[in-house]
Amino acid sequence: MMAFHLARDARCLTRTTGVRHFASFQHLAPSTIVVGGGAAENELPSLVKSLGMKRPLIVTDPVMVKLGLVDTVRATLAKSGFNSVGIFSDTVPEPTTKEVNDGVKVFTEGQHDGIVAVGGGSPIDIAKVVGIVASNGGHVRDYKVPNVIPKAGPPVIAVPTTAGTGSEVTKAAVISDPETQEKMLCMSQLLIPTAAVVDYKLTLTCPYRVIVDSGLDALTHAIEAYVSKRANSMTDANALKAMQMIQSNIRIGSSQPSNEPAREALMLGATLAGLAFSNASVALVHGMSRPIGVHFHVPHGLSNAMLLPAVTKFSIPGAKERYAVCARTMGLAAVQDSDDVACAALLRELEQLNLDLKVPTPGEFGIPEAKFMELRQLMAEQALASGSPGNNPRVPSVDEMVQLYAEVYSPSQASAP
């Protein structure tokens, strides 16, 4: 097991007055989180039994089926007497309302009483929302922010196979609506999985791009949770530990896929980041990222990475001391360095990470410049409507987000009208 330490240098939090004083707060998490290599095989059957499931539905994706992981999970459950296990594997990387509706049909017709979500953030998000719609009826858009989810769904056990989204511990799910071209954010404590099984060994078959994009997604979660206006002392602790673990392991974890200590650190870091942002909320990067995903089908973690350096540069004036703590926690600046020096080091590292890990710009990804520029006003309006930019230390106007989109696409276009 890994030892937990708040930061590489405990003094990093005393260098600056960036430490806030908090009123009372609520911290939400799954009732059970099992962490460790082999946990999926060793602990899953007893968890299913403890939650009273008799006919669990495995929600997953075609890749997990192809890799044989779903058969392994089903066989593991069968050995413990679960012989009525269903499978719904028609999820997609950027899940839509169609997959939710199809999943609800399979859940209902199979008379299932619980869900085991196996895969990345998409199957886990689908599983969470399938449970809510199955219990409450209606359409997914009935439960998007700021709408309230009336009734809890069936128990959900989340078994992540990527180290990034943190969906296994969060109260959020993101579902695209093809009818409205909107990436809907659903958020409620009723969306928090009942239990999570965090087994880094399930990530060892991930391809390079998935490792990188997932890791940068988790790093974004950690940084945004720490600078969020809704941060508290518990989210701070999780966010700082997460960003330290992810930043110090993402290069080696992606270049050496079989490096188990690095992959374990990335997995645990992603879960800690999930606990942080689920309680502190994400901010401007995520608000601007979702429209890029829905309009141009860019994977969520990748669109976050595209935005992170430019949005961080924009946001630093609103929380310079907090961003400086991020830099010191990641070992990018010394305790005696000024906040300005630390923030400059943070920006350099975020830019260098994108270079080292081959994060493309929107243009390099293949997004036509004319279309991107045409849609940036709409994307900015959609970002604002999501509510996430309001948590940012520097809250932007729609016009400022329009300019940021241009800067992210091409620095030469940053001043375009």
In a shared domain, residues 255 and 384: yes
* 18 located within any domain: no
Looking at the fold, whether 251 and 184 belong to one and the same domain comes out as: no
For the segment 116-129, what is each residue's pLDDT rounded down to a tens digit?
999 999 999 999 99
415/132: higher pLDDT: 132
Q: H or E element: which one contains 29?
A: none
| Residue 214 shares a structural domain with residue 311 | yes
Residue 23 pLDDT more than 80? no
DSSP class of residue 148? P
Tokens of 50: 């403890």
pLDDT over 60 at 280, yes or no: yes
The predicted model scores a pTM of 0.89
Closest CA to 295 of 215, 377, 359: 377
Tell me if 405 sits within 8 A of 376, measured CB to CB: yes
Enclosing domain of residue 273? 207-413
Q: How far apart are CA 71 and CA 51, in angstroms?
A: 22
Confidence of residue 22 (pLDDT cuts 50, 70, 90): low
Note whether 245 and 110 are same-domain residues.
Answer: no
pLDDT tens-place string over residues 84-102? 999 999 999 889 999 999 9
Instruction: Please determine, for residue 6, whether its predicted confidence score (pLDDT) is greater than 80.
Output: no
Mean pLDDT lowest among 183-187, 297-301, 377-381: 183-187
Read off the pLDDT of each residue in 316-320 and give the average, rounded to a whole number: 98
Which candidate, 69, 114, 111, 60, places its Cα nearest to that of 87?
Answer: 60
Q: Which of 246, 191, 183 is nearest to 218 (CA)?
A: 246
146: cis peptide before it, omega within 30°? yes
258 & 377 share domain: yes
Q: Based on the domain organization, do 252 and 169 belong to the same domain? A: no
Of 174, 203, 232, which closes a domain?
203
What's the residue count for the chain? 417
